[in-house]
Amino acid sequence: MSIENDIAFFERVPTLRLLGRDALRVLAIGAESRYLDDGEVLFHAGDPADSGYIIQEGSFILKAGTAADGPEITASPGMLLGELALLAETVRPATAIAREPSAVIRITRNLFVRMLESFPEAAGKLREQFIARSTQSAKDIASVRARLDTSEAP
């Protein structure tokens, strides 16, 4: 893909679209493409996470933790895997396995942080999005807790 095509693709990824075209250009220039065969593992649960992956083609099964029979999620093109790893040291909470021949774009934490340092307005927009999502998550948890509390009442 060309840099312009990569930028256009990044603009369709919810977390990245708000960063702005110039910031996305930096990511597109520094990002790496990787191709995987059907059944190939992109990463394992518990692995150190130093990058995020955007699914470009194909799809992946995400298996939580190390349990082989645990719940699975299917991730498809345009999804960002490892969003938190772009900002903080963490470990992979799931194993990602290609369901078919697939392609991902890898963005390292170092590249992402350098981009944010160069584009403080993009960093501010990202911060606001994370605050909004965290606030909504807290509300959702409180709502579930309230429902559980009322269902347990005698």
8 A C-beta contact, residue 58 and residue 36: yes
Distances 98 to 43, 79, 82 between C-alpha atoms, Å: 10, 14, 15
- Asked if the structure places residue 127 within a domain, the reply is no
What are 77-114's pLDDT values in tens digits? Answer: 999 999 999 999 999 999 999 999 999 999 999 999 99
8 A C-beta contact, residue 52 and residue 16: no
Task: Answer yes or no: is pLDDT of 1 > 80.
Answer: no
- Asked if the structure places residue 32 within a domain, the reply is yes
Number of structural domains in the chain = 1
8 A C-beta contact, residue 101 and residue 35: yes
CATH number at residue 97: 2.60.120.10
SS3 content of the chain, % helix, strand, coil (to 5): 45, 25, 30
Domain of 18 in residue numbering reads as: 3-119
- Asked if the structure places residue 146 within a domain, the reply is no
- Asked if the structure places residue 80 within a domain, the reply is yes
What are 132-149's pLDDT values in tens digits? Answer: 877 887 887 888 877 777
